[in-house]
Amino acid sequence: MHELTLSEISRLLAAGKVSSMEVTSALLARAATLGKALNAFISLDEEKSLAQAAAADARIARGDGGRLTGIPIAHKDLFCAEGWRTTCGSKMLANFVSPYDAHVISRFNEEGAVLLGKANMDEFAMGSSNENSYFGPVKNPWDVTRVPGGSSGGSAAIVAARLAPGATGTDTGGSIRQPASFTGVSGIRPTYGRVSRYGMVAFASSLDQGGALARTAEDLALMLNVMAGFDPRDSTSVERPAEDFTLQLSEPLAGLRIGLPKEYFSAALAKDVATPILAAIEEFKKLGATVVDVSLPNQHLAVPAYYVIAPAEASSNLSRYDGVRYGHRASDYSDLLDMYKKSRAEGFGAEVKRRILIGTYVLSHGYYDAYYLQAQKVRRLVADDFRAAFKTCDVIMGPVAPSVAFPLGSKTTDAVQMYLEDLYTISVNLAGLPGMSIPCGFGADALPVGLQIIGPWFDEARMLNVAHQFQQVTDWHRRAPLCGA
Amino acid sequence: MSLSDADVRRIAHLARLAVSDAEAEAALGQLNGILSMVDALRAVDTTGIEPMAHAVEMSQRLREDTVTEVDRRDAYQATAPLVEGGLYLVPKVIE
């Protein structure tokens, strides 16, 4: 059962060949064993999941099921789900049981999908290795001594190990694409504003965007059909008519112009990562695509700009954790100020504190113009580079990460080295663009390599079409780690 | 420009984070490492460039001035560390 893709399960459910109870039970059994070994979930609730499965079966029997009715989906543990613990990977929220549903959760519930469990993640989505979780690191299903990437590391490991056919994630600086690349699954971060942030625990509000991880582009399209859409409760939700992301999947790629930024193929890119990516581009040429050279001259400024803007927004967003209305409160304090300081010191982990401190500094009196305002100006330069590039190409392709999945513990001592992991993904977030990672081969130590596909604003349907056509002529997305076979 | 120990303690106070001596010392080196990476921005000529405050250019949407939230006080207070009679309890603020 677990080897089936989301689309395959959807067809079997609709045809009455399997029930959601059967699928959900089988996956819950795997979650209890393999899921536990990988530390991929933070919370499971068999009773709740099975109740949703039973309701889905009844709905399918009545003949009013949708494409995702009865499909078990894992949700990154920063999407609030009523009655579920929503921890954001933090001690701060370790006991927070959400009193309401995030917009994304409501949409999956309306569709009749099953909430299989809450996926492990880097604390407050800050990290590129999932080693910053209060609940312990997630292990990469391809090699349990390696990281799965982050911050949506649990979601990626769940899809790669065939623990669920799909999972939600969020991508503030690469947090869907990089773990998708490290675990050999497909992932999409939509255009900023596509997916409502309502009920999604905030990290950096001008960069955060919810998205999906699954095995195929077709499955991502089905998930996006449910997740995307206007929500008045998110002030930056874009008002656009609903779109069916599956409609363009089958279109041929003849005439597609692929932009290759020279900055993405410099000497910094490891050869074992470059080789499968270049081979994938050859594959696209066979499908009728042409290649154009483009340039993103301010690409090298993306990581520095991000590490001003994201911590600044985080320090502001995370000021809500005061130990008063929800979250951890220290047990021993002398006055109100002491209560704030101790509650926050005890509730947040090292990386979160580091970013709060950086953010507080760059926003503080006398430094705002030099750091924050300057970073926002550079942000526009980075976005303008993409605007210029898309005048000559339809999609941009390149690496997702500079290497394959690295060993657990190998980058935890140097924050800056960990930040540079997101070298190829961060500029997309600054510009607000949609980005994908799809499996395109294997690099060093037989570990998966992802191909990044970046599209113009709101062009997800075309990107999914490009990815789907690649997946019709290649089988990288069908390769499973031993534990997922 | 690099931070001093006093800067780190001032920032931690502004951020309402208690720091031990050992934490302040460790943070000093890490924050200076990050700031030196970020310093690449300062050399960029951004004369005449409009700051980009958000990912997608859009104006603030306004809604009707009507009540849209339902009263769920009990559900929301159920997650609070300390409440009594519908009020959040904190240490004495005014002596």
Percent of chain A that is helix, strand, coil (3-state, to 5):
45, 15, 45
Which pTM does this prediction carry? 0.97
Is there a contact between A169 and A156 (Cβ–Cβ < 8 Å)? yes
Question: For A269-311, how does the pLDDT look when each residue is reduced to its tens digit (9 = 90+)?
Answer: 899 999 999 999 999 999 999 999 999 999 999 999 999 999 9
Neighbours of B66 (CB within 10 A): 5
Q: Which of B3, B30, B53 sits opposite A376 (nearest CB)?
A: B53
A181 has catalytic annotation: no
Find the mean pLDDT for residues A233-240: 92
A48 has catalytic annotation: no
Which of A361, A369, A385 has the highest number of chain B CBs within 10 A, making it the mutation to test binding with B?
A: A361
Chain A CB contacts of B24 below 8 Å: none
Find the mean pLDDT for residues A336-353: 97
Q: Which of B35, B56, B91 sits opposite A339 (nearest CB)?
A: B91
Cis peptide leading into residue A151 (ω within 30°): yes
For residue B6, give Cα distances in angstroms to A1, A83, A366, A451, B15. Answer: 59, 44, 16, 46, 14
**Contacts with A, B 6-35, CB within 8 Å:** 7-8, 11-19, 27, 30-31, 33-35
> What single letter denotes the amino acid at residue A387?
R
- pLDDT bracket for residue A102 (50, 70, 90): very high
Chain A CB contacts of B40 below 8 Å: 300-301, 304
Quote the tokens at residue A283: 């594959």
Chain A CB contacts of B91 below 8 Å: 333-336, 338-339
The CA-based angle A71-A468-A399, given to 5 degrees, is 105
Cβ–Cβ gap A376/B52 under 8 Å: yes
| Rg over CA atoms, chain A | 21
Annotated active-site residue in A7, A76, A411, A427? A76
Is there a contact between A181 and A212 (Cβ–Cβ < 8 Å)? no
What is the predicted pLDDT for the residue at B77? 95
Quote the tokens at residue A8: 């395959």
Q: Which residues are CB-neighbours of A42 under 8 A, at least 6 positions away?
A: A77, A85, A87, A89, A117, A118, A119, A120, A121, A133, A135, A154
Chain B CB contacts of A297 below 8 Å: none
A151 has catalytic annotation: yes
SS3 per residue for B15-61: CCCCCCHHHHHHHHHHHHHHHHHHHHHHHCCCCCCCCCCCCCCCCCC
Could you give the CA distance from residue A440 to residue A411 in angstroms, rounded to a whole number?
25
CA distance A441 to chain B (A): 32
DSSP A186: E
Question: For A21-57, how does the pLDDT look when each residue is reduced to its tens digit (9 = 90+)?
Answer: 999 999 999 999 999 999 999 999 999 999 999 999 9
Mean pLDDT of chain A: 97
Note whether B70 contacts A: Cβ–Cβ < 8 A: no
Chain A CB contacts of B57 below 8 Å: none
What is the predicted pLDDT for the residue at B56? 82
Q: Is the pLDDT of residue B95 over 80?
A: no
Comparing CA positions, the residue from A209, A211, A207 lying closest to residue A185 is A211
Q: Which of B27, B53, B72 sits opposite A357 (nearest CB)?
A: B27
Question: For A366-415, how does the pLDDT look when each residue is reduced to its tens digit (9 = 90+)?
Answer: 999 999 999 999 999 999 999 999 999 999 999 999 999 999 999 988 88
Over pLDDT 90: what percentage of chain A? 96
ipTM of the complex: 0.96
Quote the tokens at residue A249: 């999947």
Chain B CB contacts of A348 below 8 Å: 17
What is the predicted pLDDT for the residue at B61? 84
Cβ–Cβ gap B30/A415 under 8 Å: yes
Neighbours of A239 (CB within 10 A): 11
Is there a contact between A144 and A46 (Cβ–Cβ < 8 Å)? no
Quote the tokens at residue A149: 């990437």
- pLDDT bracket for residue B30 (50, 70, 90): very high
CA distance B95 to chain A (A): 11
**A143 DSSP β-pair partners:** A140
Which of B1, B4, B14, B16 has the highest number of chain A CBs within 10 A, making it the mutation to test binding with A?
A: B16
Which of A237, A298, A360 has the highest number of chain B CBs within 10 A, making it the mutation to test binding with B?
A: A360
Question: For A165-200, how does the pLDDT look when each residue is reduced to its tens digit (9 = 90+)?
Answer: 999 999 999 999 999 999 999 999 999 999 999 999
What is the predicted pLDDT for the residue at B89? 95
Note whether A431 contacts B: Cβ–Cβ < 8 A: yes
CA distance A204 to chain B (A): 11
Could you give the CA distance from residue A370 to residue A372 in angstroms, rounded to a whole number?
6
Could you give the CA distance from residue A206 to residue A350 in angstroms, rounded to a whole number?
23
CA distance B16 to chain A (A): 5
Q: Is the pLDDT of residue A484 over 90?
A: no
Quote the tokens at residue A135: 């609940």
Annotated active-site residue in A19, A151, A155, A315? A151
Mean pLDDT of chain B: 92
CA distance B43 to chain A (A): 10
Q: Which of B13, B16, B38 sits opposite A308 (nearest CB)?
A: B38
Chain A CB contacts of B50 below 8 Å: 377, 380
What is the predicted pLDDT for the residue at B1? 63
Q: Which of A236, A344, A380 sits opposite B51 (nearest CB)?
A: A380
Chain B CB contacts of A369 below 8 Å: none
Question: For A110-163, how does the pLDDT look when each residue is reduced to its tens digit (9 = 90+)?
Answer: 999 999 999 999 999 999 999 999 999 999 999 999 999 999 999 999 999 999
Could you give the CA distance from residue A262 to residue A124 in angstroms, rounded to a whole number?
33
Find the mean pLDDT for residues A314-320: 98
Please tell me whether residue A344 adopts helix, strand or coil conformation: helix
Question: For B71-88, how does the pLDDT look when each residue is reduced to its tens digit (9 = 90+)?
Answer: 999 999 999 999 999 999
Which of B17, B31, B39 has the highest number of chain A CBs within 10 A, making it the mutation to test binding with A?
A: B17
